[in-house]
Amino acid sequence: MPPKKVAAVVNEYRKWSHADVILRNLLSGYPDGSRPNMQLVSLVTDQVPKNDMSRDLAKKYGFKICDTVADALTLGGKRLAVEGVLSIGEHGHYPTNEKGQLLYPRRRFVESICEVFEKTKSSVPVFNDKHLAATWDDAKWMYDRARKLFVPFLAGSSIPVTWRKPNVVLPKGCELVGAVQIGYGPFEGYGFHALEGLQCMAERRKGGETGVTAVTCHTGKAMWEALDAHTWTKPLLEAGLKRATAHAPGDMRALTAKAADAGSFEIEYRDGFRAFVVLPNGWVHENEGSPFIFAGQRKGADKPDVCQFYLQQPDPFAHFAELTKAIDSLVGTGHAPYPVERTLLTTGVLDAAMTSRHEKGKRIETPHLTIAYTPTEWGPAKGEVPKSEKR
C-alpha cells in the first residue's frame, strides 16, 4: 500500500522541537527501523529560527516548503492534494496572556486547514499536537468546526501512549475511589501532560466519562491542605512519590511552598469521582523516564494501582514514535484511535485550573465540561524501550 501523503503545519522546526521529534518518524522511520505509512509532502513553518532544520530537510527528502496552509494542502492546485494533516503548534516565540497561558496559534492553524476543506468540499484526518488551545473558547470552536466538516480529529499528549512501568491498564468499568497524578515542570505546558496521564486512566472507571463539575488550583499551603482533607489522598500520593526517585533533599512541603510553579489541580467529576494532579516543583526533579506517575485506588483492592509514564530520552525520544503510530492509524483508517473528547476535556480542565490560579485559588465551576465519551482499547507502548542514541 503506497504511503499516505500528508502535510504538516508547525510553529517552528528545529532540533528537538515537537515538529522534529514527530516528523522525523515520517522522514527517517521509527527507532526500530520500521516506518509509518505516511509521506510528508509539504510543510508550513509559522516561524523560522536561526537553527531551523526544515529547509535542509526539504532538500534531502523532497517535501515542499510552502508559504500558506492552502498551498501546503493543495500543493498549489485547486483540489485537496493530501490525505492527512499534522498541526504541530508547539514551541517558538509567542505571547502569554494575563493567566500565564501561552498563546500558540493552534486555532489559527485549524481555521486555515478547515478553510481549505470547506473550499475544496473535502476533508481528511487532522492531528493536533498537545492540548487543543490555551482557552476553552478556542478549543471548543476547533472541536465544533472539525465535527461540522466531518473531519476525523485526534489530539493530545504522548503520555497516554508511552510505556508504563509497570504496565498498568485499568480494567474497563472498574470502581475507582480516587486518583492522584504526579507531574512536574512548566505549570501549563507540563500540567497538561499530567492531566492526560490522569484522564487516560480515570476514563476507564465505571460508567465511562461524563465530564467535570469544578476545578480548583491550589498553591502554597493550600496545595497540601486540600490533599489532607481526604483520607484516600495520602496513601496514593506516598505510593506515587516512591517512584519519583530524583528529588531535592529536605521537606517536600516546605520546598514546594517556596516554588512559584508548584501546585495542584483538584478535579471534581460529574459522577462524584475526585482526583488531584500534583506538581511538586521545587522538590521533584526530572528522573530516568520522567516523574509523571499515576496512583489510583480501586474499590476493594488491597493496594493502589501505580505506574510511571516512561519517557525515553534523550534521543531518539521514542515515545513520540508511539504518538506517531497513533497518527498513522488516524490517517490510515480515517478513524481516531482514541477519542478527541479526552483532550477536549483535559484542555477545558487546564484552562479552568489556570483561571483558578489567576483568581487566587477560586473554585471554578465548569458546566461547559459536560463531556461524555467511551474509552477505546488503544493502550500504552509495548516491548522494550529503545536505547538512547544520537540520530
Where are the chain's structural domains? Answer: 4-151, 162-310
Closest CA relative to residue 277, chosen from 374, 363, 179, 149: 179
How many helices, marked H, and strands, marked E, lie in the chain? Answer: 11, 14
For residue 138, the model assigns a pLDDT of 98
Q: What is the pTM of this model?
A: 0.97
Give the Cα separation of 313 and 306 in Å (integer).
Answer: 22
For the beta sheet containing 212-218, the strands, ordered from the edge strand earlier in sequence to the opposite edge, are 163-165, 305-310, 293-298, 176-182, 274-279, 263-269, 212-218, 364-365
165 SS3 class: strand
For the beta sheet containing 38-45, the strands, ordered from the edge strand earlier in sequence to the opposite edge, are 64-66, 38-45, 4-10, 84-88, 126-129, 153-156
CB 266 within 8 A of CB 366: no
Superfamily the domain 4-151 falls into: NAD(P)-binding Rossmann-like Domain (3.40.50.720)
Give the Cα separation of 243 and 43 in Å (integer).
Answer: 40
100: phi > 0 → left, psi -120 to 50 → alpha, else beta; which? left
For residue 286, the model assigns a pLDDT of 77
pLDDT tens-place values along the chain, 391 residues long = 899 999 999 999 999 999 999 999 999 999 999 999 999 999 999 999 999 999 999 999 999 999 999 999 999 999 999 999 999 999 999 999 999 999 999 999 999 999 999 999 999 999 999 999 999 999 999 999 999 999 999 999 999 999 999 999 999 999 999 999 999 999 999 999 999 999 999 999 999 999 999 999 999 999 999 999 999 999 999 999 999 878 888 889 999 988 889 999 999 999 999 999 999 999 998 766 789 999 999 999 999 999 999 998 888 899 999 999 999 999 999 999 999 999 999 999 999 999 999 999 999 999 999 999 999 999 999 999 988 865 4
Give the Cα separation of 101 and 354 in Å (integer).
Answer: 7
For residue 315, the model assigns a pLDDT of 87
Closest CA relative to residue 339, chosen from 213, 209, 215, 214: 209
